A and B are shown apart, each in its own frame.
Chain A
Amino acid sequence: MARRSTPLLRRLLAPSPSPSPSTPLAGAASRRTVTYMPRPGDGAPRGVTLIPGDGIGPLVTGAVRQVMEAMHAPVYFETYEVHGDMPTVPAEVIESIRRNKVCLKGGLATPVGGGVSSLNVQLRKELDLYAALVNCFNLPGLPTRHDNVDIVVIRENTEGEYSGLEHEVVPGVVESLKVITKFCSERIAKYAFEYAYLNNRKKVTAVHKANIMKLADGLFLESCREVAKKYPGIQYNEIIVDNCCMQLVAKPEQFDVMVTPNLYGNLVANVAAGIAGGTGVMPGGNVGQDHAIFEQGASAGNVGNEKIVEKKRANPVALLLSSAMMLRHLQFPSFADRLETAVKRVIAEGKYRTKDLGGTSTTQEVTDAVIAKLG
């Protein structure tokens, strides 16, 4: 190394002269050595398809955009307008997602009772995003009735009760098909165990109703059991869905990773999100072999009501944390850490919280607070 660069290097590696840190985290961040070693060229900006969506969607995706800009994150967004009442997702949007491989989206509201099929579900099926993941955990500083919640719900995303195969047999009698296949059950089980293995999780619980739906959920359980044998280090157990919901409200600490078919996954994810602080703060996403869509964790079809949109009081935390997951997925872990730390600090402080967390702030105030706390 040339002699002149040594003092330069010394200055770079010396702790920055920031004001005395108020929390231990601040000090650690400035003192941390470089732990993520990228390949040359990894810093090139990545394209991400952005779908603002309906209702509170534009508000919260706007918040994410602002924070990404403030961080100078190496992502650029290709925005597309999609609304829940369109008949199908426009081809250009699918094209863009296939190209970028990653998408961030606000919710798409599905009109109830007829006409259009859910675009959320359509996107998932079209891109074969077979795993939906919701991470429900207690945020420090946010009081809830349950502590010790740290649950990841992994839900099969393409078949089950959401196959959309319904017909009227005779007037007044309607049938809906629930389809379970070995192929889909196996791959979701494999994903769940792989997730547990890669993230140092100790237990995987399969949620089912096989005492009543013996063939369908029985097939699901069989697939889970087979995959469980390949991961002897991870505990595996099974629980019936109604008992599961009861246990979630009584003793949520017994659950770690949960793998479920489509419908039960929806319910369990919403219950888990509710006990940990609400769907406004839980991150999640949908992932498949080739693509990933990140969105608010549970209840993606819930886009809030007009009042929230009008007063701009939507909670951006869920989408911010999901975008942090997205940054990790894109292999920018350092940016992800910064974002998550900032969000957690804002929540822990408690000054800027939206209505669903018991505060009175607007989306913009929370966003500004997060930007201010970015290290």
Chain B
Amino acid sequence: MALRRLLQGSVLPRVTGRALAPAVAPFSTESGETIRATLFPGDGIGPEIAESVKQVFNVAGVPIEWEEHYVGTEVDPRTESFLTWESLESVRRNKVGLKGPMATPIGKGHRSLNLTLRKELGLYANVRPCNSLPGYKTRYDDVNLVTIRENTEGEYSGLEHQVVRGVVESLKIITRQASLRVAEYAFHYAKANGRERVSAIHKANIMRKTDGLFLKCCREVAEKYPEIQYEEVIIDNCCMTLVKNPGLFDVLVMPNLYGDIISDLCAGLIGGLGLTPSCNIGEGGICLAEAVHGSAPDIAGKNLANPTALMLSAVMMLRHLQFNDKADRIHNAILQTIAEGKYRTTDLGGKASTSEFTKAVCDHI
């Protein structure tokens, strides 16, 4: 059903399900049945923008019941972090969640919050669609790509040690299992969203065995999807082409480190982290959408924050739940509000407050 709508096509700025739907998930969309979703408002500006999202969802009539969880003040020994076991259980049960920005507490004796979420929920792929927002002018107009980044291994395995004084080794690990998993997801996403091409980004001419294994896995998966074009691009060329001609890319699939850098680079192309949605896919069909910007403690509580990133991430979450028409309506409302330019928050060069922007989006629905 979602696919038929995709193929119908439509004219900009009306956006179809093409741009943001993460995956085909086994959720029913019968009216009257509310879906439970976990919400982590986060710190700093988190609670305000989470409030905006809730308002917009209410106005659009989305049948979602939020379970709010906050980061605790003490380390929970079961999770070794400030996130409690109950919070994680909630996400595991609901299979879907939305996360605001969380400040990383400094100190020892606990794992970082993002690391905890990733390990406990098995979040293996980070999906970031980057689309130029019509009406918000950056130097690039034709960005329409999705970066899919392997999120569990690679250079971020955290395995470092000092060999002798002054010599440090850090391990980069690539496994067949993880590479296959993320490649599968990338092609599945491309197919489900009507994307034509998947590009694997690598540096296999230098790191022959590690990136070579990653490429081998991508090739294997590519053979199962003959209708989708597959290409391999060395990261040097990828970086250069992205800043010269980003319209040439469609879906990018990458190991962890390159993915980190390239996805932030692409966010920069469309206007920064304040406008970029993001979603983490975990084992068992878990989808945790999140806003990737910081918690901005300096503007917290002042009604100045830009809720766009969290709203767009929430839209991604809706598409995952297959509420495609509601997702489209909210998405179009957001795009229209930004395109019109009357209500823009300060980081986009406007003077509107969070509540004014939210109200404008609600009015457009």
Contact = CB atoms under 8 A, between A and B. Distances in A.
A25 interface: no
B171 A175 contact: yes
B209 A174 contact: yes
A245 interface: yes
A85 to B, nearest CB: 12
Contact of A174 (B162, B168, B174): B174
A110 B268 contact: no
A142 interface: no
Interface string A265-283: 0110011011100110000
A67 B267 CA distance: 43
Contacts of B237: 270, 299, 302
B59 interface: no
B239 to A, nearest CB: 4
A34 interface: no
B273 A113 contact: no
Contacts of A246: 264-265, 267-268, 272-273
Given A177-B170, A215-B160, A301-B236, A249 B139 contact: yes
Interface string B161-179: 1100111111111111100
Interface stretch (B75-83, B199-207, B333-341): B199-207
A212 B156 contact: yes
A36 to B, nearest CB: 36
A248 B268 CA distance: 8
A168 to B, nearest CB: 6
B324 to A, nearest CB: 31
A115 B212 CA distance: 11
Contacts of B205: 110-113, 118, 301
A204 to B, nearest CB: 21
A274 B241 CA distance: 7
Contact of A243 (B140, B257, B264, B269): B264
Contacts of A161: 155, 172, 206-207
A167 B173 CA distance: 10
A173 B167 contact: no
Given A176-B209, A177-B171, A270 B239 contact: yes
A205 B190 CA distance: 38
B168 A179 contact: yes
Interface stretch (A43-51, A180-188, A226-234, A362-370): A180-188
A114 B258 CA distance: 20
Contacts of A146: 139
Interface in A243-275: 243, 245-250, 263-264, 266-267, 270-271, 273-275
A217 to B, nearest CB: 8
B240 A114 contact: no
Of B158, B169, B207, B243, most buried by chain A (CB within 10 Å of CB) is: B243
B300 interface: no
Nearest to A115: B208
Interface string B121-144: 000000000000000000110000
A275 B243 contact: yes
A174 B357 CA distance: 49
B206 A162 contact: yes
B268 A145 contact: no
B166 A174 contact: no
A248 to B, nearest CB: 8
A297 B308 CA distance: 39
Contacts of B158: 212
A168 B265 contact: no
A352 B236 CA distance: 26
A181 B168 contact: yes
B239 A242 contact: no
Contacts of B25: none
B102 to A, nearest CB: 14
Contact of B173 (A174, A243, A266): A174
B265 A271 contact: yes
A288 B319 CA distance: 54
A214 interface: yes
Nearest to A279: B240
B268 A245 contact: yes
B215 interface: yes
B261 interface: yes
A2 interface: no
A361 interface: no
Of A118, A248, A271, most buried by chain B (CB within 10 Å of CB) is: A271
A82 B239 CA distance: 27
Nearest to A181: B167
Interface string B255-296: 001101111110111001100000000000000000000000
Nearest to A168: B209
Contacts of B171: 175-178
Interface in B210-264: 210, 212-213, 215, 232, 234-237, 239-244, 257-258, 260-264
Contact of B170 (A117, A178, A242, A302): A178
Interface string A26-70: 000000000000000000000000000000000000000000000
A216 B155 CA distance: 11
A123 interface: no
Nearest to B175: A173
A245 B176 contact: no
A182 B167 contact: yes
A214 B160 contact: yes
Interface string A150-182: 000000000001101011100111111111111
B240 A176 contact: no
A334 B179 CA distance: 54
A91 interface: no
Given A111-B205, A179-B167, A274-B244, A166 B210 contact: yes
B123 to A, nearest CB: 16
Given A178-B170, A270-B240, 11 more contacts: A113-B212, A121-B206, A161-B207, A162-B206, A166-B210, A178-B169, A179-B170, A180-B168, A218-B168, A245-B262, A271-B243
8 contacts: A118-B205, A146-B139, A179-B168, A212-B158, A242-B260, A245-B262, A267-B239, A302-B234
